Amino acid sequence: MQQMVSGRSITRRIATWALCVAVLGLVPVADAAAQNGVATSGEAPIVIDLRARTFQPGEAVVVTLTVPPPAVDVRVRVFDRTVAAFPLEGGQWRALVGIDLDQRAGAYALEAQAIEGQHVRTATRRLTVQRRTFPTRVLQVAPDFVNPPKDVQARIDADRQFTQAAYAQSATTRLWTGPFVRPVPQPANSRFGTRSVFNGERRSPHAGTDFLSPTGTPIHAPNAGRIVAARDLYFTGNTVIVDHGLGVFSLFAHLSKLEATEGQSVAPGDVVGLVGATGRVTGPHLHWAMAVAGARVDPLSLLALLGSP
């Protein structure tokens, strides 16, 4: 799957925010503040809390912000992407971000921005990405899926444009509600991020989690959202993409049957299709991929943080 791109609407909001900062003449926070997540200029601080299974490539990160009132618009910026936060009870805000599976290890700045009318309050803290080594697997598949024949190249390009456009337009409000749930009851068997060698040739890393579910198993929406793709694509076969809002997407691949329509809204647990073996596969299974704020993350990392117990 292609690397997700951040949304046009998000880009527009960044531009608006950048303009606000320029007009107000605010300066970036000092280094000392950046270490401990405290706001600038002696006013009440924004406190930033980060929670993850591990701070490694392919992991979702829950950002919880304690923001002094009366903030009406709170955003988080990290890895050159900005996502909107949503309010929780008691003056707290939350945002989901992800560490892309190809993100390099190192120290990055995570910035929170709270907008109160004409005033922008900011705080920064360090997010250190630790090194991760993914395993390599060797697979034999039909040769056309490793080096596709020339006559399907136009279709592959069209598929890529379609999925990029789908990922570029996340709902600007949170569509998910409550905990995320597993789409199928079977356990996951393939490690996320595995580097694949197809028929002796190195290919892009495995950006999803595989569940060894038999053909025909109903696939349940892991949370509420809007169907932005329900169609046959060359590599992923019958594919459903659910936009959960605020840059969070689920993709289900290799379905034997689509049971969703593009544009349709789904509730948590709604059936969106049946497990199958369409596209580039070695056998029937469910491939579940997630994008969080433009990062490809392991869905199991999000389940560990925000899943039902």
Instruction: Provide the minimum distance between the beta carbon of 287 and Zn ion in the complex, in angstroms, as a whole number.
Output: 3
Helix, strand, coil content of the chain in percent (nearest 5): 15, 40, 40
Give the SS3 label for residue 8: helix
- CA-closest candidate to residue 98, choices 126, 121, 127: 127
Q: Does residue number 121 form part of the binding site for Zn ion (CB under 5 A)?
A: no
Q: How far is the CB of 298 from Zn ion (least distance, A)?
A: 12
Q: How far is CA 276 from CA 18, 55, 202, in A?
A: 46, 33, 25
Contact 57, 32 (CB under 8 A): no
Give CA 163 to chain center in angstroms. Answer: 14
In the complex, the smallest distance separating the C-beta of residue 18 from Zn ion, rounded to whole angstroms, is 38
Q: How far is the CB of 107 from Zn ion (least distance, A)?
A: 31
Nearer to Zn ion, 128 or 189 (CB): 189
Rounded to the nearest whole angstrom, what is the least distance from the CB of residue 277 to Zn ion in the complex?
11
Query: 79 or 192: whose CB is closer to Zn ion?
Result: 192
**298 counts as binding Zn ion under rule CB under 5 A:** no
Taking CB under 5 A as the rule, does residue 174 contact Zn ion? no
Residue 200 gets the label, from left (phi > 0), alpha (psi -120 to 50) or beta, of left
Half-sphere exposure of 157 (CA within 13 A, CB side): 6
Nearer to Zn ion among residue 54 and residue 196 (C-beta): 196
Residues 255-294 that bind Zn ion (CB under 5 A): 287
Choice between 37 and 208, CB closer to Zn ion: 208
Stretch that binds Zn ion, among 110-118, 129-137, 148-156, 205-213 (CB under 5 A): 205-213
Residue 60 amino acid letter:
A
The residue within the footprint of Zn ion, chosen from 210, 243, 270, 298 (CB under 5 A), is 210
Report the nearest approach of Zn ion to the CB of residue 207 (Å).
8
In the chain, DSSP finds a helix count (H) and a strand count (E) of: 5, 22
Complex with Zn ion: residue 103 or 236, whichever CB lies closer: 236
Q: Write out the residues near Zn ion by the rule CB under 5 A.
A: 208, 210, 287
